[in-house]
């Protein structure tokens, strides 16, 4: 059935619309004028119309469905007439869109993923040679927050071609790629042979990198098993079972600080351990024991904050939630840095070598590329 407008009437500061499927909408006059099809440049698609040039009392002189089936509005200001496609109005109708129940795109997982670990594999050459492979990788990253690219080259800096299939790589002071290798006098615990607790990278940034890619070049040392946990899944567990702890983690900001002795910049940032979107979905998980600074919460809540953080941290390392696996040369461990927390067991640097190269990318690159490719299909 083709959906179209049956009836239009003026009501206060907007138009009431009745559709032939029984739905009803209201379109505000300023919203309509702001979204006139002529408001945007045809090439750049940027809005050129300045809403400040009309008054907040703007209204139609007259309106109708014209012979071409478009809603035609002659405005009482600016000597201007707008023409709106009915399909566009229905698609962008905020009255109806705000009635829709939000459905999260995320597929939450726990340690049971270990029994189906190959489901997050994607072959390197399939990504390089096909949009189908690239889309699968992007979907795993966006929906699951984790993917393992298999059989990539093992030369240094050889991950650039596959990452460039997505978009721009984010530079940081660690350089690109950054070397995850045991070095003397390390400026980061990742550059040691010690165990690393599950953590987010760069939580002291206002906007930490959205995604991280760890490319395994060599892994012949004893130990060094990787770990990963879906922070969204742990947050969801707390939301359903420990509501007071969940609310504390959402509402109280923690302080994170960069303590890199090689830098002449001291970076710090306050943010809650769990942040939510406007729809109440999960947006960020910030957890890093190594880089959480001295807490400066109000004394009345300090005990509550520590107990909530303690509970959260234990769950993030609970075998009920986390998975453990060994990276092989040619693997690219790809994950949402603001959702998935990662770590490793200690390794014996005298028993062999372990060398990973790391890359960062902003979340917008993954989501934007996926949106473009799926629209293209």
118 and 250 both lie in a single domain: yes
65 and 125 both lie in a single domain: no
219 and 366 both lie in a single domain: yes
The answer to whether residue 137 is domain-embedded is yes
**Three-state secondary-structure class, residue 349:** coil
- Domain of 37? 5-97
Lowest mean pLDDT among 4-18, 45-59, 183-197: 183-197
- Average pLDDT (60-89) is 96
The answer to whether residue 102 is domain-embedded is no
316 and 190 both lie in a single domain: yes
The answer to whether residue 345 is domain-embedded is yes
Average pLDDT in the chain: 93
Contacts of 24 (CB under 8 A, 6+ apart): 16, 17, 18, 95
- For residue 90, the domain's CATH number is 3.30.2020.30
Lowest mean pLDDT among 185-194, 215-224, 236-245: 185-194
- For residue 346, the domain's CATH number is 3.60.130.10
- Give the end of a domain, one of 48, 70, 97: 97
Model confidence at 190: pLDDT above 60: no
- Give the end of a domain, one of 97, 120, 135: 97
Q: What are phi and psi of 167, to 5 degrees?
A: 175, -150
158 and 195 both lie in a single domain: yes
50 and 151 both lie in a single domain: no
The answer to whether residue 104 is domain-embedded is no
Kindly report, residue by residue over 224-243, the tens digit of the pLDDT.
899 999 999 999 999 999 99
Kindly report, residue by residue over 131-176, the tens digit of the pLDDT.
999 999 999 999 999 999 999 999 999 999 999 999 999 999 889 9
Can you give the pLDDT at residue 353?
Answer: 87
Can you give the pLDDT at residue 183?
Answer: 45
Beta strands in 293-338 (DSSP E): 323-325, 332-336
Model confidence at 325: pLDDT above 90: yes
196 and 225 both lie in a single domain: yes
223 and 286 both lie in a single domain: yes
Model confidence at 185: pLDDT above 50: no
**How far, CA to CA in Å, does 151 sit from each of 121, 135, 216, 300?**
10, 18, 10, 53
The answer to whether residue 348 is domain-embedded is yes
146-150 and 121-123 as β-strands: parallel, antiparallel, unpaired?
Answer: parallel
- The pTM score is 0.89
Model confidence at 191: pLDDT above 60: no
The span from the CA of 36 to the CA of 55, in Å, is 16
Model confidence at 45: pLDDT above 90: no
- Average pLDDT (46-57) is 90
279 and 309 both lie in a single domain: yes
Can you give the pLDDT at residue 377?
Answer: 60
- Give the end of a domain, one of 97, 129, 162: 97
Domain count, the chain: 2
Higher pLDDT, residue 145 or 351: 145
The answer to whether residue 106 is domain-embedded is no
CA neighbor of 286 nearest in space, from 323, 244, 341: 341
The answer to whether residue 105 is domain-embedded is no
219 and 269 both lie in a single domain: yes
122 and 218 both lie in a single domain: yes
Q: Is the dihedral of CA 231, 232, 235, 241 positive or negative?
A: negative
CA neighbor of 284 nearest in space, from 213, 353, 340, 326: 340
The answer to whether residue 45 is domain-embedded is yes
Instruction: Give the angle 337-343-349 at the CA atoms, nearest 5°.
Output: 135
Tell me the pLDDT band of 264, cut-offs 50, 70 and 90. confident
Can you give the pLDDT at residue 174?
Answer: 87
62 and 174 both lie in a single domain: no
Can you give the pLDDT at residue 188?
Answer: 45
């Amino acid at each position: 059935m083709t959906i179209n407008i049956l009836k239009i009437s003026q009501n206060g500061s907007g138009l009431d619309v009745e559709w032939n499927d029984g739905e009803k909408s209201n379109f505000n006059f300023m919203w309509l004028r702001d979204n006139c099809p002529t408001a945007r440049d045809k090439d750049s698609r940027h809005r050129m119309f300045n809403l400040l040039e009309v008054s907040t009392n703007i209204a139609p002189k007259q309106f109708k469905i014209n012979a071409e089936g478009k809603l035609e509005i002659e405005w009482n200001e600016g000597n201007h007439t707008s023409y709106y496609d009915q399909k566009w109005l229905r698609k962008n109708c905020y009255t109806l869109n705000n009635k829709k129940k939000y459905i999260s795109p995320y597929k939450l997982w726990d340690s049971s993923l270990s029994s189906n670990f190959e489901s997050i594999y994607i072959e390197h050459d399939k990504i390089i040679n096909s949009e189908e492979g690239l889309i699968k990788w992007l979907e795993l990253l966006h929906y699951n927050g984790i993917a393992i690219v298999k059989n990539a080259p093992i030369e240094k800096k050889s991950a650039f071609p596959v990452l460039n299939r997505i978009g721009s790589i984010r530079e940081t002071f660690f350089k690109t790629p950054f070397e995850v290798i045991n070095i003397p006098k390390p400026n980061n615990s990742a550059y040691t042979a010690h165990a690393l607790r599950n953590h987010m990278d760069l939580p002291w940034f206002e906007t930490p990198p959205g995604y991280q890619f760890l490319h395994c070049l060599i892994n012949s040392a004893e130990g060094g098993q990787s770990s990963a946990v879906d922070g969204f899944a742990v947050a969801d567990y707390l939301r359903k079972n420990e509501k007071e702890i969940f609310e504390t983690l959402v509402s109280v900001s923690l302080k994170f600080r960069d303590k890199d002795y090689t830098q002449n910049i001291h970076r710090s940032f306050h943010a809650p351990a769990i942040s939510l979107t406007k729809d109440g979905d999960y947006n960020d998980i910030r957890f890093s024991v190594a880089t959480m600074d001295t807490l400066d919460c109000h004394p009345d809540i300090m005990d509550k904050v520590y107990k909530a953080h303690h509970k959260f941290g234990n769950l993030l390392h609970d075998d009920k939630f986390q998975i453990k696996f060994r990276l092989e040369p040619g693997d690219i461990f790809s994950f949402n840095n603001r959702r998935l927390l990662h770590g490793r067991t200690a390794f014996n640097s005298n028993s062999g070598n372990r060398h990973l190269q790391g890359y960062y990318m902003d979340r917008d690159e993954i989501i934007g590329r996926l949106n473009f490719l799926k629209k293209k299909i």
